[in-house]
Structure 1
Amino acid sequence: MIPSLNYAVLTDALHALKEGNIRHCEALGFTFDEMNALSQLSLDELFTLSRASAPLMDISVRHDVFRQLLTLSRQETLRQQRINRAVRLGGSIALLNQYFGLTSNDVCLRRRLLGVTIPHGRTPIPDEDTDAEIWRQWQQRRQENLDSPEALEAMMQVTEALASRPDIPSLTAVHNRITLCEQDMTNRRATHAG
């Protein structure tokens, strides 16, 4: 065991003792006598103990927890990448709140970090050709639930597919047009069914 690990364990236990968190020290495996001795250590004694080459603890890997944490870590990394991608594609505060739960401060900070500037005012409405292309691209990637992460992914792909156009629509413009068209289709179906 690396001596610095001894230091980490000892300082963690001392910190817990100072806060009166005896249960944490028990969870680490310290007895009451050891906790009492630990709380009375001088700085020199703590330094000597922490530098000892003999390990204070046995460490074992909880494989199931490790796998679960790896999975969660990968999911969070993908989520952060998806958020950054949505910000770069011109996702509005409302859109980023809807799909990721971000506040306006979160979005503004992320834009600043990514160097993304958003024009003020209303989101421009795409011209007819762009609007038609948005719909064509959406039909290739269409998702039933517009509020799902899969639908947002498809909308980002549509936005990226339109990046070669002179007036590149933002993700927000694409989202708004798709939502409007889907609502129109739903309304027409309801009218024809009645």
Structure 2
Amino acid sequence: MDTAAPRHTGPLTYRDAVPDDVPALVPLVESAYRGESSRTGWTSEADMIHGQRTDARAVAEVVTAPGSRLMAVERDGRLVACCQLEHRGDIAYFGMFAVRPENQGEGLGRQIIEEAERRVREMWDVREMHMTVISVRDELIAWYERRGYRRTGKMSPFPYGDERFGIPQRDDLEFELLVKNLV
């Protein structure tokens, strides 16, 4: 007998998150990256970084900052994913991308990133999407490369010592800039 939760098949709906969404968004992001719940998906950082990925203040800043949006993604009335979209002149920044671990592997990530790219072209008429990914996340980087993102080799430091971003379990963490042309 299969006791797995049924997979939802309804259409995805997209909207800009509002401050009242923050209490639901924080655990969504945490579940995709940290702690035991993240291990059921493939985006987990739990072996590399312990502690929190984000907090209510950081999520609220993304939701309310000028030139920034946190796109909430729902299916059947349930929050299943989110991503940050930030206008930075000629480019858009894509971040805080989280899909519930139990929904990973259903093709949602591909659909959501395509919608995010469409929206930033339409809203801001940008030519490129930028993101940063922990450079040792080979499987995740390969997934983004299959979606047209390219590695730049441009690195930025991981915020060691700032527990708002977690407690690193290794000393070689840094962020690599990935870029995709949108025109």
Q: Same fold by TM-score, threshold 0.5 exceeded?
A: no
Q: TM-score, normalised by structure 2?
A: 0.21
Q: TM-score, normalised by structure 1?
A: 0.20
Q: Larger Cα Rg: Structure 1 or Structure 2? A: 1
Is the strand fraction higher in 1 or 2?
2
